[in-house]
Amino acid sequence: MSDGQPATCFWTARPVTVRSTNLGEGRDARDLRWSAMMVAAQAGDARAYSSLLRECLPLLRAICRQRLREPAEVEDAVQDTLLTLHRVRSTYDPARPFRPWITAIAERRALDRGRGLARSMARNTGLEAADHIGAGGDAEHRLMSADLHAAVGALPVSQRTALRLTKIEGLSLAEASARSGLSMGALKVATHRAVQSLRRKFGMEP
Amino acid sequence: MRTEDLISRLAQGLKPVRRLPSPLAMLALWSLFCAAIMAAAVLVAGLREDFAAWLVNGFALYSMISAALVALTAGYAAFELALPDRDQRWALLPVLPAIGWLVTMGWGCLADLARLGPEAFNLSISVPCLVFIIGLGLPMTATIILLTRHAALIRPTPVAALGGLSAAAFASLGLTVAHELNAALMVLVWHGIAVLVVTCIGALTGPRLMRRAATV
């Protein structure tokens, strides 16, 4: 597309101007379409937003798969990406290609999750090395509790915080929100995902 | 929760958002804000008594230009880096102006040494420098953190550090106009320490502030 040539946004029927040839480099028809859908989403078009996110899922999964091996971790990283994207959707500039914007967000979330996993593996190694300490009590119970501890430790910080405040300390959503600085919606989603993740890990969910 | 369900939930009741202004527009807004704060501070503190004589001295002009360049480039880099798809090498933008500022001050030290001899290296504590730069730099840092709060989930620490550097460099610029401090070594040490303190506090507390501001 040449400088300043308007592309029609089929979601809003408004022209979207793509500015520079440099920035527009590599903007194929799909990128322009995604860009137009994002513009519509920024204007509050829920249908465009939903379609855009669904169309982007294969790309997001491919990016996260490059950094993470476990399919469940990949899916969690994709969900983290969607939540981040939702929070920073005002930062997308339609004069620039859409793919680098969404790719940068996905890579960051996958990287964060990978780092979290590495930290949790380091902690688990420490636990295994300390297995011989403390002989009393029910061994199976201790093992279960150590596994649970490790699984909670492996959760992303936001999920761990949400779980601790709402399920362990038993605070109300409003109290937990005031304490953590997270919105009530974000707390609900994070708690739900933390519980699902733990259920999956302990085989309590198919 | 299935990813498809999450998408439906995110799209449900989607609210329109105002697209962020470009980094250049944000820089213009930020610079105007800082200029107004500095003008108010100079109005309260008064211009330095030797202002006219000091300004015609070439060294003063170079030090002011280099401090202004640090403030502007650090601010611009912060606004660029706060956006997800920008190259992280933007963080290097203020490096050259910062080296320029240090070279200007080093050159001033040598000039003082030639003019005054070993007396040029007499170092005493300049409380007004610290109070002015830190006292004004910290609230200004909080302001730029608010302006870049969308970086909370992207790269909060470098953005907050660059914001702190920009705020402190603006405060340092304001101080050179208001406070009479002619020994280059004194300026180098006390302005340098104050700018470093504000930048470090910005980097350490910025990410938490951004997260709080982003959830409001």
Residue type, B129: C
| Residue A22 confidence (pLDDT) | 41
CA-based nearest residue in chain B for residue A103:
B85
Domain containing residue A75: CATH number: 1.10.1740.10
| A122 falls within a domain | no
pLDDT of A8 above 70: no
| A124 falls within a domain | no
Last residue of a domain, one of A65, A84, A113: A113
| Residue B58 confidence (pLDDT) | 66
Q: Which residue has the higher pLDDT, A9 or B73?
A: B73
| Residue A123 confidence (pLDDT) | 67
CA-based nearest residue in chain A for residue B213:
A181
Task: Give the one of B6, B11, B20 whose C-beta lies nearest to A46's C-beta.
Answer: B11
- Cross-chain Cβ contact A91/B15 below 8 Å: no
Q: Does A143 lie in the same domain as A79?
A: no
Q: Which residues in chain B (54-113) have CB-CB distances under 8 A to chain A?
A: 82-85
Going by pLDDT thresholds of 50, 70 and 90, the confidence category of residue A131 is low
**Within 13 Å and on the Cβ side, how many CA atoms surround A38?**
26
Range of the structural domain that residue A171 is part of: 134-206
Asked if the C-beta of B5 comes within 8 angstroms of chain A's C-beta atoms, the answer is no
CA-based nearest residue in chain A for residue B153:
A84
| Residue A12 confidence (pLDDT) | 42
Domain containing residue A183: CATH number: 1.10.10.10
Q: Does A8 lie in the same domain as A69?
A: yes
| Residue B108 confidence (pLDDT) | 80
Q: Does A90 lie in the same domain as A139?
A: no
Last residue of a domain, one of A82, A113, A144: A113
Q: Length of chain B in residues, anyone?
A: 216
| A189 falls within a domain | yes
pLDDT of A148 above 70: yes
| Residue B160 confidence (pLDDT) | 96
Residues of A in contact with B82 (CB under 8 A): 91
* Tens digit of each residue's pLDDT, chain B (216 residues): 788 899 999 998 899 999 999 999 999 999 999 999 988 888 887 777 777 777 777 677 888 899 999 999 999 999 999 999 999 999 999 999 999 988 888 888 888 788 777 776 777 777 777 888 888 889 999 999 999 999 998 899 999 999 999 999 999 888 888 776 667 777 788 888 889 999 999 999 999 999 888 765
Q: Has this prediction a pTM greater than 0.80? A: no
Give the three-class secondary structure for A94: coil
Query: What ipTM does this complex have?
Result: 0.81
Domain count, chain A: 2
| Residue A139 confidence (pLDDT) | 45
- Cross-chain Cβ contact B6/A82 below 8 Å: yes
Task: Give the one of B19, B85, B215 whose C-beta lies nearest to A42's C-beta.
Answer: B19
- Cross-chain Cβ contact A47/B11 below 8 Å: yes
Q: Does A101 lie in the same domain as A50?
A: yes
Q: Does A29 lie in the same domain as A84?
A: yes
Q: Does A70 lie in the same domain as A33?
A: yes
| Residue B89 confidence (pLDDT) | 94
| Residue A14 confidence (pLDDT) | 44
Burial B162-197 (b: 16+ CB within 10 A, else e): bbbbbbbbbbbbbbbbbbebebbbbbbbbbbebbeb
Q: Do the beta carbons of residue A91 and residue B20 sit within 8 Å?
A: yes
Q: Can you tell me the mean pLDDT for A31-35?
A: 93
Q: Does A88 lie in the same domain as A6?
A: yes
Q: Which residue has the higher pLDDT, A188 or B91?
A: B91
- Cross-chain Cβ contact B85/A96 below 8 Å: yes
| Residue A105 confidence (pLDDT) | 95
Averaged pLDDT of chain A: 77
Neighbours of B110 (CB within 10 A): 11
- Name, in order, each residue with C-beta under 8 angstroms of B30's C-beta and a sequence gap of 6 or more: B75, B79, B143, B144, B147, B166
| Residue B181 confidence (pLDDT) | 66
Hunting for tokens 């870049």 — which residue is that?
B148
Q: Does A164 lie in the same domain as A90?
A: no
| A90 falls within a domain | yes
CA-based nearest residue in chain A for residue B15:
A44
| Residue A1 confidence (pLDDT) | 36
Q: Do the beta carbons of residue A48 and residue A37 sit within 8 Å?
A: yes
Q: Does A154 lie in the same domain as A83?
A: no
Spatial CA neighbour of B93 closest among B156, B162, B151, B155 = B162
Burial A149-164 (b: 16+ CB within 10 A, else e): ebbbebbbebbbbbbb
| Residue A146 confidence (pLDDT) | 62
| Residue B28 confidence (pLDDT) | 97
Q: Does A147 lie in the same domain as A65?
A: no
